[in-house]
Chain A
């Protein structure tokens, strides 16, 4: 069973479109994250939710909107896609926000290409 699963794995779309990436974890974790990995492989945190509550919102454009319907799911919706949004987006989860010693478990990534 995949612990953290993301769909779709690949996404190719035109500038200006709106797209969503879905993430689910079956680890029973309370905390979920979205990270962006750019073309230079640099990883930057975007958002974090703990038990459906937003706790990290980095300086991300308003076009990005996360939604957590329950603690096992964290989706990412992107409006008005721009060329610079092309990247690999990783979902991750960890036991709980307060458990600072816990490692993150990552999904396989969703590669978004904006043309």
Chain B
């Protein structure tokens, strides 16, 4: 069965510093990995995805994520955090197992960027 874990409930970062939000996954076959952001009282917005190719994926709002097959991780990163980046971040995985296209989400990590 496919699963995804976000080990940190909350990440606190000072504005201007780099940020990392961690994600590990478990899936049969090749993983398709996604990051979403949810601002308060809003729906989820797509940030970026890894399908194949370059392990470093660039996405919206200056975010990027690094796919590491040996560590089964897909950590979200940003070189310079902004206060406006404060939100809830979800990692998600979709695996090819029995032709299922189901997208499974991690439990979410709250990012708090302080001025």
Contact = CB atoms under 8 A, between A and B. Distances in A.
B83 interface: no
A86 interface: no
Interface residue range, chain A: 20 to 34
Q: Name the residue in A40, A45, A103, A107 with the highest tally of chain B Cβ atoms < 10 Å from its Cβ.
A: A103
B108 A101 contact: no
Given A42-B107, A42-B108, A45-B103, A101 B42 contact: no
Among B32, B41, B43, B88, residue most surrounded by chain A Cβ atoms (within 10 Å)? B43
Interface of B: 32, 34, 36, 38, 41-46, 49, 51, 88, 90, 94, 96, 99, 101-105, 107-108
B74 to A, nearest CB: 14
B53 to A, nearest CB: 11
B44 A90 contact: yes
Contacts of A105: 46
Contact of B88 (A41, A44, A45): A41
Given A41-B88, A42-B108, A100-B32, A48 B43 contact: no
A59 to B, nearest CB: 13
A106 interface: yes
Nearest to B47: A103
Interface string A73-100: 0000000000000000010101001111
Q: Which of A4, A41, A90 has the most CB of B within 10 A?
A: A41
Contacts of A101: 32, 49, 51
B101 A98 contact: yes
Given A56-B102, A98-B101, A103 B42 contact: no
